[in-house]
Amino acid sequence: MEENYELAKWLAGEMTERELLDFQKTPDYATYTKIATYSGELEVPDFDKNSMYKNIISKSNKKSKEKIITLHQNWWFKIAALFLVFLGLSLGYKSLISVSKYADNGQQTSFVLPDSSKVVLNAGSEIDYSKWNWKNHRQLNLIGEAYFRVAKGKKFEVCTDLGKVTVLGTQFDVKARKNRFDVICYEGRVKVNYQDKEVIITKGKRVAFEDGNAIEVPDHTTIEPEWVKGELSFTNEHLEHIVNELERQYNISITLKKPTNFQLFTGTIPMNNLNDAIAIIASTYHLQVKKLDDQKIQLEALNVHM
């Protein structure tokens, strides 16, 4: 009730300077301001005093107990009506707001969905969803990679530019980077849609697609993604994609100059030791490492005949 009273005073322009400053600091002030602007465009009919007087006189003999609406009461009715319009617009506005979660390069971000499901975003990733309308719109839009621990009995969809994953009560990892789409199921089962393909995978299974084609990948035995534990795991991955992932994880810039070895890489790389990570890549692909500064590294092919 206190919030409604303050809102009414603000709408009526009756706040003191101190009250106005305090009200402007509230979390919803920006939303109130936008909606008040829209609601201000609504036209309220002019009050016809003569017409109301005649109506009151004509009806006074029919209902002796009928209440007469005074000018003061009418003013409060206008405020109450405006507040109801304001409240309705506010709820509608909030229902359209998307909540966005980010994990910057070199970081991971954890958060909980409205149904108590847990999400961990890998470096250089983003998720957005409708928090206020979650019950009716259980859909998340993912850019990058995320690990999901779904609350028991809950369902939702994870949409990416490359494919869609439908939750069937599980723990799973979704990775959509450039033209490659990977999904791993750690518990329960998930339904994966990729272009015109649909497959359901269960615990221990994984699927991968690239450029419209399925990639053969082995089953896994870990209980959660390696990147959650501080390691990067790759299966039949291109050098360019590995370099991009190292840039995200270590928040650095890596220039790949004239690579001559295009073999696919399968293995793990540490996320907590940049020198070791670069050494593994340089050794595997016969690259010379040049450290340009603290944030820039150049990898150049050696003159080695494969």
Do 129 and 222 have their domain in common?
yes
Angle, helices 239-250 vs 274-285, to 10°: value is 170
Encoding tokens for residue 135?
A: 């019950």
Rounded Cα distance between 82 and 67, Å, is 23
Residue 306 falls inside a structural domain = no
How is residue 130 annotated by DSSP? Answer: -
Rounded Cα distance between 235 and 217, Å, is 7
pLDDT tens readout for residues 23-61: 677 766 676 666 565 554 444 444 454 555 555 455 555
In sequence order, which residues have a C-beta less than 8 Å from that of residue 266 and are 6 or more positions away?
A: 234, 235, 236, 237
Encoding tokens for residue 107?
A: 């970081």
Residue 59 falls inside a structural domain = yes
pLDDT tens readout for residues 71-83: 555 555 556 556 5
56 is in which domain, residue-wise?
A: 2-96
Encoding tokens for residue 61?
A: 């003999």
Interior angle at CA 100, CA 99 and CA 104, nearest 5: 160
Rounded Cα distance between 274 and 128, Å, is 31
Do 161 and 42 have their domain in common?
no
Rounded Cα distance between 296 and 287, Å, is 16
Instruction: Give the pLDDT band of residue 177 (cuts 50, 70, 90).
Output: very high
pLDDT higher than 60, residue 89: no
Q: Say if residues 131 and 99 touch (Cβ distance below 8 Å).
A: yes
Pick the range with the lowest mean pLDDT from 39-43, 71-75, 116-120, 173-177: 39-43
Q: What is the CATH number of the domain that holds 160?
A: 2.60.120.1440
- Cβ count within 10 A of residue 212: 11
Q: Which long-range contacts (CB under 8 A, 24 or more apart) does 34-37 make?
A: 34/93, 35/86, 35/89, 35/90, 35/93, 36/11, 36/86
Do 119 and 200 have their domain in common?
yes
* pLDDT for the residue 152: 85
pLDDT higher than 70, residue 5: no
- Looking at 177, 194, 226, the residue that finishes a domain is 226
Encoding tokens for residue 259?
A: 């690579």
Do 107 and 214 have their domain in common?
yes
* Percentage of the chain lying above the pLDDT 90 cut: 52
* pLDDT for the residue 185: 95
* pLDDT for the residue 42: 43
Task: Convert 187-198 to b/e letters by CB count within 10 Å (16 or more is b).
Answer: bbbbebebeeee
Task: Please state the pTM of the whole predicted model.
Answer: 0.67
* pLDDT for the residue 45: 47
Q: Tell me how many domains the chain contains.
A: 3
Do 219 and 234 have their domain in common?
no
pLDDT higher than 50, residue 95: no
* pLDDT for the residue 153: 82
pLDDT higher than 80, residue 20: no
3-state secondary structure of 186: strand
Pick the range with the lowest mean pLDDT from 23-37, 95-109, 267-281: 23-37
* pLDDT for the residue 7: 62
* Percentage of the chain lying above the pLDDT 70 cut: 71
* pLDDT for the residue 9: 64
Instruction: Give the pLDDT band of residue 102 (cuts 50, 70, 90).
Output: very high
Q: If residue 258 lies in a helix (H) or strand (E), which one and from where to where?
A: none
Burial of 142: CB neighbours in 10 Å, binned 0-12, 13-18, 19+: buried
